[in-house]
Amino acid sequence: MLAVACMALPAPAHAEKRVALVIGNNDYKNVPKLQKAVNDARTMGDTLKQLGFSVMVAENQSRQQFSQTLLAFDKAVAAGDTAFFFYAGHGFEIAGQNYLLPTDVPAATEGQEELVRDASVLADRIVERLQNKKVRTSILVFDACRNNPFERSGTRAVAGGGGLAPMAQLPEGVFSVFSAGYKQTALDRLSSDDSSPNSVFTRTFAKELLQPGENLVEVAQHTRRLVSEMAETIGHKQIPAYSDQMVDNVFLNGVAKGQADTGTPSPQKVAALPPVSVPRIAPSNDSINAPIAMFSRHNGGWTVVFSIADPTLGISWRMGDSGEFRETGFLDTLDTRTRKRMPNPAIELAADATAATIQVRYVDASGEMQGPFPIRFDPEAALIHDQRKVLDMTATSWLSFREFNGLLVYYTHLMSYRCAIREVRVGIDSAVPDKVLKMPPCDVRDPSAIPHDAQPYLKLTPTTQFVSVELTYRDGSVSETKSFRR
């Protein structure tokens, strides 16, 4: 069943289109059936309609139907849109990749991982499809962290436990949420007396999405706290995980708290819409082509790189709402779109630069000045975001072994990017990290420097074969467990 419901709500002339696909699979033919996945999809569909999304609801999808539904989703989204994908049903991890299981997935046994791959939908492929459509904001939510659906009494199942793997190195503009952490399973209900038609995660997440003035990070954090507290009441560990690769804050139900009271528009306006029936407060230069910025911290200070969709003839900027605009200059490169020298997209800020709003404007290809556009600079948030991206990209360098008066394992790399880390756990000859590494506190003035009195290594016994490591990031999300062998 594929139902399409479009919200006939008035929208600002420059607002991006909001499109959602929600899928719920209960009626599995060869693996255990589920009870609440379809209800979860319907609840999420109703919730997203209230937030101004055009919603496609698909239920009990076979592999062919799943493919046709994704094609319909492809056609519904366009460049600059906000896309929301929700899946409730069986999911399965194979070699660190997550697969969404259609209702006709075969009953596989040991050694038949390829059979499952061929019959299922790769979660990363959904991200790629949205990236190919050049959507501005992609939100992916998976309530699929259940037990191994292929386990059978008396047989050896396809290798895999409960839960799904983290989606590492997501591209910019993607926000993902899992109903449980890595290798955790999600609860459908709290007890036999729990009469809710929805899973513990979905009933909580749907309510949090409707809270006005909360950005996506706040929604995810509040959800994980509430779900974790409910799961603990019955002795179960379920901590929803999320990954944030957004440049700006994303508000699905109103601007940031306090903005409406002052009449000041939020500079972080990606995907921001007010609550239904409340007039939008927005600057007159609001544009889907407003620049975005990437902040990178180095020893000398900050590098800020502006990304502008339009061809540009010049870029200028200033800190705050007053003062002269400064030109960024030009590179010794021709822009093939304008056949002129390419404006320098980067500026430098001092290491001690404080939180402020950067006003950016540019001259488009027709010679018209566009902007200024406000970009919020928060040094602490930018530092954490930048270091998290570096850690994700350099996961193979987290630990290194050295022979020096015995066997040592160094974690200097983790210390250098510790501002993005809340906790580091390692396991010695164990796949379960159970030892907490002591890390010096973050120094925002010189974040990469390692204090002289810090010990960046562990002494190991000569027989040690491997060390596993798991990071808990500052936002509470947990990395995939990595193993490092001598």
* pLDDT at residue 206, as a whole number: 95
How far, in Å, CA of 426 to CA of 399, rounded? Answer: 10
Tokens of 258: 């306090």
- For position 71, what pLDDT does the model report? 92
Contacts 24+ apart (CB under 8 A), 288-292: 288/14, 288/16, 288/80, 288/136, 289/370, 290/371, 290/373, 291/360, 291/362, 291/371, 291/373, 291/375, 292/247, 292/248, 292/375
143: Cβ–Cβ under 8 A, 6 or more apart, which residues?
A: 37, 40, 86, 87, 88, 179, 186, 199, 201, 202
67-81, 254-268, 387-401: least confident range:
254-268
> Strand pairing partners for 175?
139, 244
Mean pLDDT across the stretch 351-375?
91
Query: Pick the residue with more confidence: 146 or 362?
Result: 362
Mean pLDDT in residue range 205-215: 92
- Report the DSSP beta bridge partners of residue 335: 340
Higher pLDDT, 350 or 15: 350
- The model's pLDDT over 70-88, given as tens digits with 9 standing for 90+, comes to 999 999 999 999 999 999 9
pTM of this prediction exceeds 0.75: no
3-state secondary structure 420-483: HEEEEEEEECCCCCCEECCCCCCCCCCCCCCCCCCCCEEEECCCCCEEEEEEEECCCCECCCEE
- Average of per-residue pLDDT across 221-231: 92
Q: In the predicted model, is pLDDT for residue 270 greater than 50?
A: no
Contact 131, 170 (CB under 8 A): no
**Predicted pLDDT of residue 110:** 67
Residue that the structure tokens 């992609």 belong to: 138
| Alpha-carbon distance values, 97 to 91, 122, 145 (Å) | 10, 7, 13
Give the model's pLDDT for residue 449.
87
What is the SS3 assignment for 116? helix
> Average model confidence (pLDDT) for the chain?
83
